[in-house]
Amino acid sequence: MDRPAALHFINTTHPGDATTSSSLSQIRSHAQKEIRLRARRLRKAAPPQGKKGDTKRIEQLKQNTDGKRGDTAVSSINITSSNSQEAVEEPTSTVPSMALSRSPQAIGLSSVAPCGGFSEKEGFLLLHYVNYVIPFSNGSCHKNRNSSSRWLIDLQLKHWIPLALSDRGLMAALFLQSCHSLGVLNPHQDYADMSTKYRLQCIQSTNASLATTATQMSDATIAKVMIMAIDEFTIGNVDAWRAHLAAITWMIERRGGVDALGVGGFLKEVIVNTPIFYE
């Protein structure tokens, strides 16, 4: 069966108009239609429970546990959990990638230097994050729900996404959030394997950043731990969530306090006004 065509947005407006309400409205409408279409395709293609597809999935999970992922390269890293230290296998995709730099206006962003090419699936996850997670999910975890959502959306598009594109580990964290979002929108499709992949990539990147940082913590490193805290809270791992909160507090203190955080004030806004970080 032929693979569905990739989702692309071509924005021919002036860069200064790329984030206007009308432009973003058109993009969101297009994204919603594409998401619903893909959800229907996935439901039709999903094998019935108890059939051959389940056996194949179980075998694949066993292969993943043994560190055998077909053509996927595997490297070993050490992470510290709330209970012990364990070796984790980090998958590095060998799928042919596509450069994102050729159409930065396609997602309403100023021109930035991306951290590298993304696979077709990752391109879709990024578009879902920009066109769905940012405009429709921030209010669910933000204390001031009656505040200007337009301002918060603009803050993320102008500062948060460009920062993420400069750090592969932070992009993995965004992909992880997209997987959670798509899993809720389309419960018939299993996003667990993809979530695990990007969770491990985020952990690896964070460990590498902490190992090379002598005194001051970067915005990207703090942001990755913040997203991991959200991830643990989402899946109900309270002990790991509290451990991440303690780490975030320690890193912010070393940074010089919450007022010293960058990203246009977005990180401070999330820390101060999102209950998950102080309750």
Domain boundaries, the chain: 18-34+109-277
* Pick from 188, 106, 151, 174: nearest CA to 266: 151
Structure confidence at residue 213 (pLDDT): 65
Structure confidence at residue 26 (pLDDT): 64
Q: Residue 159 pLDDT more than 90?
A: yes
The predicted model scores a pTM of 0.57
Mean pLDDT of the chain: 68
Structure confidence at residue 89 (pLDDT): 35
What is the separation, in whole angstroms, between the first and last Cα of the chain? Answer: 49
Instruction: Answer for the pair 266, 232: CB distance below 8 angstroms, yes or no.
Output: no
pLDDT digits (tens, 9 = 90+) for 43-64: 555 544 444 444 444 444 344 4
Structure confidence at residue 111 (pLDDT): 34
Q: Is the dihedral of CA 68, 179, 51, 5 positive or negative?
A: negative
Most confident of 43-57, 99-113, 154-168: 154-168
Instruction: Answer for the pair 139, 43: CB distance below 8 angstroms, yes or no.
Output: no
3-state secondary structure of 134: helix
Distance of CA 68 to the CA centre of its chain: 25
Task: Spell out the residues 6+ positions from residue 107 whose beta carbon is closer than 8 angstroms to its own.
Answer: 9, 27, 126, 127, 130, 131, 161
Instruction: Answer for the pair 140, 162: CB distance below 8 angstroms, yes or no.
Output: no
Residue of 66 and 134 predicted with greater confidence: 134
Structure confidence at residue 61 (pLDDT): 36
pLDDT digits (tens, 9 = 90+) for 174-196: 999 999 999 888 887 878 888 99
Residues 141 and 157: their CA atoms lie apart, in Å, by 18
pLDDT digits (tens, 9 = 90+) for 143-156: 555 555 788 888 89
Structure confidence at residue 179 (pLDDT): 92
Please, is 33 exposed, middle or buried when counting C-beta atoms within 10 Å of its C-beta (0-12, 13-18, 19+)? exposed
In single-letter form, the type of residue at position 222 comes to: I
Residue with tokens 């594109």: 165
Structure confidence at residue 30 (pLDDT): 60
Structure confidence at residue 277 (pLDDT): 72
pLDDT digits (tens, 9 = 90+) for 224-266: 999 999 888 888 888 998 898 888 889 888 888 888 888 888 8
Q: Which residues pair with 177 in a beta bridge?
A: none
Residue of 34 and 272 predicted with greater confidence: 272
Q: Residue 37 pLDDT more than 70?
A: no
Question: What is the percent of the chain with per-residue pLDDT over 70, rounded to a whole number?
Answer: 52
Q: Residue 217 pLDDT more than 80?
A: yes
